[in-house]
Amino acid sequence: MILNKLKQQHFWYINKNWRIKNQILIIQIVSSIFVFILLASSIIISQLIIQKSIEESSEKIFVKQTLQQLNSVWLHKNNLQQLIRSASQQIQIVQSFNQFIEKTSILTMMPLQCLNQPNTNDSYCYSSSYCFGLFGDWFNQTHLDQLSQVFAVTSLLTQFRIAVDNTQALYFSHANQAQFYTINQGFYFNQGFKPHLRPWYLYHLNYTLSVLNNSNLIVYGKPYEIFTGGIRIPMTSNLLNIDQGFEGVIAKDIDFNQTSAFKLLDQETTLIIINCYGQVIYSRLYDQLNQSLYSIFDEIYTGFNETDFQQIMNYHNHKNFSNSCNLILEQDNVLCRYNSKLDDFCIIQTAQIANTPYILVLFQDSKNIKMTQEEQYSLINNEQSKITQQNIIMYLLLTLFVLLIAQLMSSIMLKQLNLLICYTKYNIYDNWIFNLSKMINLKQKYLIQSQEITNLYFSVVELIHYRRPSKKNKQCSTEEKNSKELNKQRNQQIKLKISNYKAKKNSISYDLTKKYFDLIKYFLILKIQVEELALKNAQYSLV
């Protein structure tokens, strides 16, 4: 009845004509399979997520490693800044000598005019002293008297020459009409040389006109080529007296290639120095003779175009920039652009050289980085796949183990209830007669025992015995059926015998009946005769 009511609810697992036990078993199996599928799916999905995370992490790690490699090359930046500080200090030495002599009026030896007098052309003077030259067309004694102070400065520089860096040229020119000019690396100048018409001198004057406070201003001139090969940058400042009056221009050449002994040489890393206009101030290409100046957006030299230069400047100035790399993960602090010369993507870093208009640009091709990254990722991925397979097998075995443990625990916990179910099934579906000895099993001490189940058990037993006392078991029904068949056969045999007996009896009965009726007839006649005789005797007695 309960099962019929449940069937009317249209549950998919009740509509089957299965016993409740089988339905519960099927539901348990389906649930276990579903749980295992969920567990396996979660493992696989989690491993895929981990794999993706490892891939992204490996990209980040290699980008960071590349940045660290670039940062290790950043030592070159400090060398450049040290070079610039050294050049600035040498300019300051000339400035200090000029003001010191003006204050003290110290007497010095007259330097040699070896730059434009053939009779003093001496290689020793060129290499061991600050010799000078007067290149003005029209000057007089008054102009020469104004140069007494710079003559003394030149003499002091000669005396302190050993303490000053003479790797690159240190020179200055007085502003009067005589056009005094001195340099630490002297050689004979032709008559057409005019210090006041040199690009470094004109650029300095034009630049300082637009600056109000230009007393201690350091001006970085336009780079120029030297005939021996290479690029030089003039670093200029005002030659001032003690009253901060302008007397001339001091200059110190900068050769960034001086730091090549200190930089980290790497075939995959390229270092260049540019100004804000993209003009390359330093590059390995300048090590070649007769190499003209070029810009970073000259694609034939650097592999970068104007768009790349614009993105480099945006990155350097902390503005919005775009990456063109698809191979390496984009990050906020990484600029990656395609280089047509290297035919590869390059990771780019920039840094401002302190107190200069120059930018240090480092870029490293990512081909070897990506190759190393892929090898590392392949190794990690293979290990992760093995771990994933081991985890799935482990979880499968663990699931089976859990199911076995659950089954064992269910058997232990539901042993009483299982006995009750078996008894109910035994009496309802199989046999009515119950072996009361089984009730002893219920009285045993189980690991987990419930008094409520025990009470329910006895209630069911009593209910079955009192409500269905006449129910026959299968054995009785079978024996009764067999007995009926046997009785039926016996009845048929008896009927056959009776019919034969009746037929025989009928023939005998006819003869007996005839004799019986004849005898009765004889007795009736005899009775009538006796009665007549008695009547006659009575009449005779009356007479």
Q: Note whether 218 and 91 are within 8 A (CB).
A: yes
237 shares a domain with 150:
yes
Give pLDDT, residue 444.
Answer: 53
Residue 100 has pLDDT above 70, yes or no: yes
Domain-ending residue, one of 212, 234, 264: 264
Of 209-218, 305-314, 362-371, 448-457, which range is least confident? 448-457
Most confident option among 57-66, 158-167, 179-188: 179-188
What integer pLDDT is reported at residue 206 of this predicted model?
92
Asked, for residue 239, whether it belongs to a domain, the answer is yes
pLDDT given for residue 385 in this prediction: 76
Nearest to 344 by CA among 361, 329, 327, 362: 327
**284 lies in a domain?**
yes
Q: Sort strands 131-134 and 180-183 into parallel, antiparallel or unpaired.
A: antiparallel
**Residue-wise DSSP of 62-108:** HHHHHHHHHHHHTHHHHHHHHHHHHHHHHHHHHHHHHHHHHHH----
Q: What share of the chain has pLDDT > 70, as a percent?
A: 66
Give me the domain span that covers residue 422: 414-487
Per-residue pLDDT tens over the stretch 174-203? 999 999 999 988 888 888 899 999 999 999
Please check whether residue 54 lies inside any domain of the structure. Answer: yes
At residue 537, the pLDDT reads 62
Same domain, 257 and 118: yes
Tell which residue, 244, 322, 231, has the closest CA to residue 284: 231
Final residue belonging to a domain, choices 487, 512, 528: 487
Q: Does residue 530 lie in a domain region?
A: no
In this structure, the answer to whether residues 346 and 428 fall within a common structural domain is no
The answer to whether residues 194 and 132 belong to one domain is: yes
Q: Are 7 and 15 within 8 A, CB to CB?
A: yes
User: 334 or 413: whose pLDDT is higher?
Assistant: 334
Q: What is the pLDDT of residues 422-463, one digit of tens each?
A: 766 666 655 444 454 454 554 555 555 566 666 776 777 777
Q: In angstroms, rounded to a whole number, what is the distance separating the alpha carbons of residues 27 and 151?
A: 110
User: CA-CA distance, 350 to 358, in Å (whole number)?
Assistant: 10
Task: Answer yes or no: is 466 within a domain.
Answer: yes
Q: Packing angle between helix 415-425 and helix 451-467, nearest 10 degrees? A: 10
- Window from 30-34, 90-94, 466-470, 486-490 with minimum mean pLDDT: 466-470
Q: Closest Cα partner for 334 from 52, 54, 61? A: 61
56 inside domain = yes
Q: Closest by alpha carbon to 364, among 73, 157, 23, 146?
A: 73
Total domains in the fold of the chain: 4
Could you tell me if 112 and 162 lie in one domain?
A: yes
Q: Which of 87, 115, 110 is nearest to 186 (CA)?
A: 115
In the listed set 487, 507, 534, which residue is the last one of a domain according to the structure? 487
CA terminus-to-terminus distance, the chain: 102
Q: In sequence order, what DSSP letters do the residues of 347-390 get, joined into one string?
A: EEEEEEPTTSSEEEEEEEESHHHHHHHHHHHHHHHHHHHHHHHH
Residues 92 and 236 in one domain: yes
pLDDT band at 417 (very low <50, low <70, confident <90, very high): low
Q: Is residue 533 part of a domain?
A: no
User: Are 327 and 194 contained in the same domain?
Assistant: no
| Structure confidence by residue, pLDDT tens digits, 473-527 | 566 667 667 777 777 777 777 777 777 766 666 666 666 666 666 667 666 777 6
pLDDT (0 to 100) of residue 203: 92
Using CA atoms, how far apart are residues 356 and 304, in angstroms rounded to an integer? 24
Q: Are residues 111 and 243 in the same domain?
A: yes
Q: Are residues 355 and 295 in the same domain?
A: yes
Q: Domain with 129 in it: what CATH number?
A: 3.30.450.20
Do 434 and 462 lie in one domain? The reply is yes
Q: Does 525 fall in a domain?
A: no
Tell whether 84 and 211 lie within a shared domain: yes
pTM of the model: 0.57
Whether residues 170 and 238 fall in one domain: yes
DSSP 480-514: HHHHHHHHHHHHHHHHHHHHHHHHHHHHHHHHHHH
Q: Which of 88-102, 268-282, 321-335 has the lowest mean pLDDT?
A: 321-335
Helix (H, G, I), strand (E, B) or coil at 474: helix
